[in-house]
Amino acid sequence: MGNGIAFLFGAVFNLLSNVNLMFLLDYTLQAIVGGIICLAFKVLGDVLSPLWQKHKDKVKDFAKLKKVRSLRLRRRKRDDQE
């Protein structure tokens, strides 16, 4: 097995000699920046989503309340007119 390990290390170092390290560094930097941006959008979405849902619920409740009030006002006007 000792010869197999030596062969494996030789193959790895042979492949590394043909790799452009600046390309790998650039790719790594792009991956890190992209991951940070993706994480920021995810966190921002997780924070803003409940706030947006609360706002939608308030608007929906206000619209229902307005409809109920308008129905009551209409009934009163009709009762006054009769």
Q: Which pLDDT score is estimated for 72?
A: 55
Structural domains counted in the chain: 1
* Residue 1 binned pLDDT confidence (cut-offs 50, 70, 90): low
Give the pLDDT confidence of 44-59 residue by residue, as tens digits: 989 888 888 888 887 7
Q: Which pLDDT score is estimated for 37?
A: 96
Give the pLDDT confidence of 3-45 residue by residue, as tens digits: 888 888 888 888 877 778 788 899 999 999 999 999 999 999 8
SS3 3: helix
Separation in Å, CA 37 to CA 19, 29, 31, 44, 47: 28, 12, 10, 10, 15
Q: Which pLDDT score is estimated for 57?
A: 80
Query: Containing domain of residue 76, as a range?
Result: 2-81
Please tell me the pTM assigned to this model.
Answer: 0.46
Q: From CA 8, how far away is CA 16, in angstroms rounded?
A: 12
In 1-82, where does DSSP find H-type helix? 2-17, 21-81
Q: From CA 61, how far away is CA 59, in angstroms rounded?
A: 5
